[in-house]
Amino acid sequence: MTKQEKVDFVIETLNDIYPQIPIPLDHKDPYTLLIAVLLSAQSTDVRVNQITPILFEVADNPYDMVKLSVEEIRDIIKPVGLSPMKSKGIHGLSEILINKHDGKVPADFEALEALPAVGHKTASVVMSQAFNIPAFPVDTHIHRLMYRWGFSTGKNVVQTEKDAKRLFPQDLWNKLHLQIIWYGRQYSPARGWDLEKDIITRTIGRKSVLSEYNKKISLKKA
């Protein structure tokens, strides 16, 4: 297969498996999505979706959020991890949204990344999922699969994002990055990986990755 044929195969396969793709984090507007994505750092979507209803029942907008102290926010979000940093970020960004953006989440990369505790990945998720502006957020699943498929070097997420944007059509970025995340979770995880179920990697995967997988399987059977 040529590189383009591999890209086409990925797109077609993912569309067959995931014709409709849900957003993993529960939210109702750009603000609640921003907070949910911030909370998801070093945590799981399942855990975040358990905590955000509790937080949003108390404060689901920046005006109510700043009425809480950092300590009160931290107590609520503690189960998701990194609560000291995240609580400060949530309180701080809420103040900035009120003071600089009329309480609204800006649909602008630079403005989003200027907010406390908001990095490029978080900004990319908000831009793509809240505002439908083309972006390609790279999480651990996308980083892993882009390497396994031979589409990126795997050196860092910055390079992986550049490679993904270069290979895939821009009008597919917002849907495709979610499809790859779900595929990585269900068919090509970091642990408990079964190549027989992973049709994409089995078909187009990097030779070194397939060789390493087969070695591990052989050792288990020995």
The domain locations on the chain are: 3-20+137-221, 30-131
Cα separation of 32 and 105, whole Å? 10
Catalytic residue list contains 139: yes
Cα separation of 20 and 39, whole Å? 25
Range 30-131 has CATH code 3.30.2320.80: no
pLDDT tens digits in sequence order for the chain, 222 residues long: 999 999 999 999 999 999 999 889 999 999 999 999 999 999 999 999 999 999 999 999 999 999 999 999 999 999 999 999 999 999 999 999 999 999 999 999 999 999 999 999 999 999 999 999 999 999 999 999 999 999 999 889 999 999 999 999 999 999 999 999 999 999 999 999 999 999 999 999 999 999 999 988 876 765
Pick from 79, 73, 72, 23: nearest CA to 47: 79
Name the CATH topology of 3-20+137-221. Answer: Endonuclease Iii, domain 2 (1.10.1670)
Choose the catalytic residue: 60, 86, 121, 163: 121
Contacts of 208 (CB under 8 A, 6+ apart): none
Choose the catalytic residue: 26, 45, 108, 139: 139
Catalytic residue list contains 26: no
Tell me the pTM: 0.91
Pick from 156, 128, 118, 130: nearest CA to 40: 118
